[in-house]
Amino acid sequence: MNGAESLVATLVASGVDACFTNPGTSEMHFVAALDRVEGMRPVLCLFEGVATGAADGYGRMAGKPAATLLHLGPGLANGLANLHNAKRAATPIVNIVGDHATYHAQHDAPLASDIAAVAAPFSSWVHASTDAGKVAHDAARAVAAARKPPGGIATLILPADTAWSEADGPAEPIATAEPAPPRPDAVARAADALASGKAAVILLRGDALTEEGLAQAGRIAKTTGARVMCDTFTARLPRGAGRFAPTALPYFAEQIVETLAGTERLVLVGAKPPVAFFAYPGKPGWLTPEGCEIVVLAQPHESGPAALDALADAVGALGASPDLAPLARPDLPAPGPIDSALVGQIIGRLLPEGAIVSDEAATSRLGPALHTAGAPPHDWLALTGGSIGQGVPLATGAAVACPDRKVLALQGDGGGMYTLQALWTQAREKLDVTTVIFANRSYAILNVEMKRVGADPGPKALSVMDLHDPVLDWVKLAEGMGVEAVRVDMTEAFADHFARCMREKGPHLIEVVHTR
């Protein structure tokens, strides 16, 4: 058994059994090991940003890490932007990055770079294996590091000779740390804050956003009058009929200020106090109201659900009935030209139970979010790190993790172009993903932001935010990668095609041409 085989066997024994890859020469022994060791599913991606984004989607849905297999520093570099998003989502991921043989590093060959330095800004754990005998144990450590609560990016650098040299065999998996239990003093402080009669907000992030965590927060809200909120962009949010719905913070700073106005106690469960996504001249960045007391009920590495259980007990809320969303689907809209709100209305009407929604719809996201609030239960995955080009890869990985659930990618056209290669992987793996492209043919958000930062655009500036010249043909782009596609600009056509996509399995794309 060589080092690569010991590595793959250890990953599989540690519960890592999917690998999103774009390999090169230095990873050939890992690739060959896929046939010599049972249990690892390779998923080929034509660009590394697809691999890392898919690993993020997989991790969010599977609750355990996938591996990526990437080629040297530049291959890792191509995957960094979606690792940034995954890091902000606290998704567990194990990156395996091939490197030159240890004895070849001295020669500074053309593909050489400082891989550990490339990995560091977006990893919580980085290690370079130094000999084949240690690779297996290093792999076990990498998995444990990725799974360490709340979840992180572990990058293991694998020099080619540690892959091809003889090893002893796989290593024992390392027991995964559990989220830390509630701290009684924190629970008592939070209970005091909620019992104070002051206007309170409970802000949830991470594992607090399970169906059970939400229900418990709903009971606390019912009992104490506190409001329950979540971030604008959540890694995974269970939504729909029968679930307690937290209020999502709005996107713009002044809207958050308005939403939080009058709040005197802010109770954080795995979350951080809200800040502005960007700074704007003369606008606030820190958004907690002045004089509001901040109470940390649970830090990110502590169990959100257990903390909420303890808090519910402390405030006498265990017997309360939370306000759960009723099943309430909108009607189909009248025939006519489509816009993003009408798309949302149709999706709200037709979204199947158990759907997974990857939301990178950007300026088109509010309609779909609003109209699916009363749809059957589903999960919503948002752009946690703000780096566009996540949506289609994320949907791809979610579909690998959950083959029996319908996956829906809501994707702006600007962001969709970053990582469109993900469509090919969907076709190759016959994944059950429907991609809706919101084709406003613009970096629409930048037209808004340009004004917000106080800049005055002329014709050159306006041109670099505009995607009309030439118009992208998403039907051809999708078909070019083996995904069936249509273009629509009317409500009835979208409803017909969307209904068909929800009925039939396999990848589809609908380009929605709209102007607002």
Q: Which is nearer to its own copies, 81 or 202 (CB)?
A: 81
Q: Can you give the C-alpha Rg of the chain in angstroms?
A: 24
Name the residue with tokens 């780096």: 387
Q: Which is nearer to its own copies, 224 or 384 (CB)?
A: 384
CB of 47 to its own copies, least distance (A): 5
Sole window of 110-118, 136-144, 359-367, 496-504 interacting with its own copies (rule: CB under 8 A): 110-118
| Order of strands across the sheet that contains 153-159 | 41-44, 18-22, 66-71, 93-99, 153-159, 125-128
What amino acid is encoded at 133 in this protein?
G
Structure tokens at 72: 């040297």
| Residue choice 211, 264, 293, 479 for contact with its own copies (CB under 8 A) | 479
Sole window of 260-268, 341-349, 355-363, 456-464 interacting with its own copies (rule: CB under 8 A): 456-464
Cα–Cα distance for residue pair 158/116, rounded to 1 Å: 11
Structure tokens at 91: 């998704």
Q: Which is nearer to its own copies, 58 or 244 (CB)?
A: 58
| Residue choice 277, 324, 332, 370 for contact with its own copies (CB under 8 A) | 277
Q: Which is nearer to its own copies, 192 or 473 (CB)?
A: 473
Q: In sequence order, which ranges of 295-410 are alpha helices (DSSP H)?
A: 304-314, 340-350, 366-371, 391-401
| Residue choice 15, 39, 109, 352 for contact with its own copies (CB under 8 A) | 109
Q: How far apart are the first and last CA of the chain?
A: 59
Identify residues 215-244 at the interface with its own copies (CB under 8 A).
233
CB of 11 to its own copies, least distance (A): 14
| Residue choice 185, 290, 404, 469 for contact with its own copies (CB under 8 A) | 469
| Residue choice 130, 164, 189, 227 for contact with its own copies (CB under 8 A) | 164
| Contact indicator for 486, 338 with CB cutoff of 8 Å | no
CB of 434 to its own copies, least distance (A): 18
Q: Does 358 bind its own copies (CB under 8 A)?
A: no
Sole window of 150-158, 292-300, 378-386, 391-399 interacting with its own copies (rule: CB under 8 A): 378-386
Sole window of 115-123, 127-135, 391-399, 400-408 interacting with its own copies (rule: CB under 8 A): 115-123
Size of the site for its own copies (CB under 8 A): 101
CB proximity list for 350: less than 8 A, separation 6 or greater: 495, 498, 499, 502
CB of 64 to its own copies, least distance (A): 21
For 220-236, b/e burial (b = at least 16 CB within 10 A) is: bbbbbebbbbbbbbbbb
CB proximity list for 425: less than 8 A, separation 6 or greater: 43, 44, 45, 46, 50, 54, 396, 431
| Residue choice 181, 197, 272, 403 for contact with its own copies (CB under 8 A) | 272
| Residue choice 275, 370, 493, 502 for contact with its own copies (CB under 8 A) | 275
CB of 411 to its own copies, least distance (A): 14
Structure tokens at 229: 């909120």
**Nearest-CA neighbor of 14 among 85, 77, 83, 96?**
96
| Residue choice 177, 188, 294, 464 for contact with its own copies (CB under 8 A) | 464
CB of 189 to its own copies, least distance (A): 24
Sole window of 117-125, 145-153, 203-211, 341-349 interacting with its own copies (rule: CB under 8 A): 117-125
| Residue choice 196, 286, 294, 403 for contact with its own copies (CB under 8 A) | 286
**Nearest-CA neighbor of 24 among 7, 5, 45?**
45
Name the residue with tokens 């660009």: 47
Identify residues 388-417 at the interface with its own copies (CB under 8 A).
389, 414, 417
CB atoms within 10 A of CB 468: 10
Q: Is the peptide bond before 470 cis (omega within 30 degrees of 0)?
A: yes
Identify residues 15-74 at the interface with its own copies (CB under 8 A).
21, 23-26, 28-29, 31-32, 34-36, 42, 44, 46-47, 49, 72-74
Helix and strand numbers (H, E) in the chain are 20, 18
CB of 138 to its own copies, least distance (A): 20
| Contact indicator for 391, 420 with CB cutoff of 8 Å | no
CB of 230 to its own copies, least distance (A): 14
Q: Does 182 bind its own copies (CB under 8 A)?
A: no
| Contact indicator for 164, 3 with CB cutoff of 8 Å | yes
Q: Which is nearer to its own copies, 244 or 438 (CB)?
A: 438
Q: Does 77 bind its own copies (CB under 8 A)?
A: yes
CB atoms within 10 A of CB 258: 10
- 298 three-class SS: strand
| Residue choice 427, 437, 439, 495 for contact with its own copies (CB under 8 A) | 427
Identify residues 243-262 at the interface with its own copies (CB under 8 A).
none
**Nearest-CA neighbor of 193 among 230, 220, 229?**
220
**Nearest-CA neighbor of 224 among 267, 175, 287?**
267
Q: Does 498 bind its own copies (CB under 8 A)?
A: no
